[in-house]
Amino acid sequence: MEEPNIDPVLDMDPATQVEILDRAVSRKWNKYTWSGLIVVGVGCLCIVVGLLVRTGDYSAGILLIGFGAIIVLVGLIRIAIGLINPLLPSDLRTRYSYRGHHHDELHDQEVIINTLRDE
């Protein structure tokens, strides 16, 4: 027996689905890309300070350079997450789409869709 389609995104007309997809893409861009750039900037600042403070082979400057490199990598990953976009409106399914549902989870999905639709 086939499960009924309870994903509210799939029950909408295609124009509304594309509009919601565009809003989700712009929210994701704003959230991850700009914060990723800030994190990369902080990491580069740590690397520069570490290079200026470095006095020997095992100094605190080397540790600061290592932390800065890790911070830069985290920022680059955030930027990559912000740049990868869903291809289809059906990719916007929530995490509850593949599991058993109860009323509260379905209501949460509708609230999220309504906030994307209302903006």
What integer pLDDT is reported at residue 47 of this predicted model? 95
pLDDT along the chain (119 residues), means of 10: 55 73 81 93 96 84 93 95 75 52 58 63
What integer pLDDT is reported at residue 56 of this predicted model? 79
What integer pLDDT is reported at residue 105 of this predicted model? 56
- Answering whether pTM is above 0.75, one says no
Best CA proximity match to 43, nearest among 77, 3, 16: 77
